[in-house]
Amino acid sequence: MASKVSKAITIGDLRELARRRTPEFVFVPVETGGDDGNGPARNADGFHKYHLSAHALVDCSTVKLDATVFGRTYSRPFGISAVGFAGIMRRHAEQMLAEAAVEANIPFMLSSSSCASIEEIARIAPKHVWQQLYAARDSRITDDMLRRARDAGVEVLAFTVDAPAPMYNHWLVRAGLKLPAYVPPAKWPYVIWQALRHPRWTWEHASRGGLPRADSWAPYAPAGASANDVARLSWSQTPTFHEWPEVERLRRLWPGKLLIKGIVRPDDAARALDLGADAVIVSNHGGNKLDCMPAAIDILPGIAAHVGHRAPLLFDGGIRRGSNILVAHGLGANFSMVARATLYGVMAGGTEGALRAIEILSSEIKRDLAMIGCPDIARMDATYIHGSARHIDLPRRREPAVEKIDKIAVS
């Protein structure tokens, strides 16, 4: 009998399966992000104002999806972005996402607030792991995280700069919850009721001793520290305020590629590159940062026009369909990262669910490229965006040399 995730035809279907499987006190914070919860919805809805324009009579019998980033060619023009404490949403979620990334040949960005250690994920997905970093208050912890990532063979570091203060989720505050570290006594009946209504999620955690520990932070806690103790340690160290000298310091320490994640202004993007970053990720933290910020896709064109010729430009925010990735490429992105889409998949069906999310997006991208007469994602630019958006002063895609096209494997 086919699994439920195999029957999902959209990311929305996976989202619904994830919602049914997961207690409300886990799913709602994932869905709503910061403040009143409008940020993630605005990110997704922001794509609605952009429409694709089709070139007619183009041979798209073969459509290429592969993309090269930082010298490595991936089979899709997107990767899996970082999600903190994903192991709470489904046990071993980070390991499952890493497995899916290897099978699909795409990058997986591991959160520095993960329930799995960088060492374990690097063993599962060698050459596919990017390490996301929140710089700690204690620079010795930051430096050791860099050492561990380097020793594990990680080549790409994504320094996240858009969360200097704790996320403030109205729903969680009203509920009086701060998982996994604190559930007030008055809320235990509600938590138990939700746990009983979602027995598969409850069993996978209860049978293994409760909610998982953040193994990314465990080396910095006392021996024998509980999951709550480690969570409190991470919250005491991050988020915190850092300034531009921290970028310079990390650039000196990190030998690999350095990305600055969470850029929403052209001048900040330029400054990051001036200080030695290899690329920037245009992102408003999935809409989690503030509910009063514009959609990430609306921020992208201005940054692309300002710095798009200087370095690769990555995009992260609100992607739920393959056409969203085409719009991001058309507005100047060289590569996209998805978080909630693959998270819904892994919450709904583990590794199989994550792979189903990747396949849904991939098949949509491939079909949509053929529909608009673009046989190669590398050629996707502003000429394929309808209306006023196509007049934005964006970098034009370079046409690949003819002699190189014949050597590229068809995906």
Active site residues: 285
CA distance 360 to 158: 26
The pair phi, psi for residue 136, each rounded to 5°, is: -85, 165
- Burial of residue 208 (number of CB atoms within 10 Å: 0-12, 13-18, 19+): exposed
Q: Is the dihedral of CA 299, 301, 306, 312 positive or negative?
A: positive
Residue 213, amino acid:
R
CA-to-CA distance for 69 and 284, rounded, in angstroms?
A: 22
Give backbone dihedrals phi and psi of 300, rounded to 5 degrees, phi first: -55, -50
Cα-based torsion angle of the residue sequence 15, 33, 138, 278 in order, rounded to the nearest 10 degrees:
70
Q: Which residues pair with residue 321 across a beta bridge?
A: none
Query: Closest Cα to residue 249, out of 217, 282, 276?
Result: 276
Of the candidates 351, 352, 406, 344, the residue with the CA atom closest to the CA atom of residue 376: 406
Q: Which 8-state DSSP code applies to residue 390?
A: G
* Spatial CA neighbour of 234 closest among 160, 141, 151: 141
How many C-beta atoms lie closer than 10 Å to residue 185's C-beta? 6
Do 113 and 234 contact (CB within 8 A), yes or no? yes
Q: What is the sign, positive or negative, of the torsion defined by CA atoms of 318, 396, 251, 270?
A: negative
Residue 100 DSSP one-character state: H
Q: What size, in residues, is the chain?
A: 411
Amino acid, single-letter form, for residue 22: T
Neighbours of 238 (CB within 10 A): 22
Contact by Cβ (8 Å): 364, 321: yes
- Cα separation, 56 vs 26, in Å, equals 47
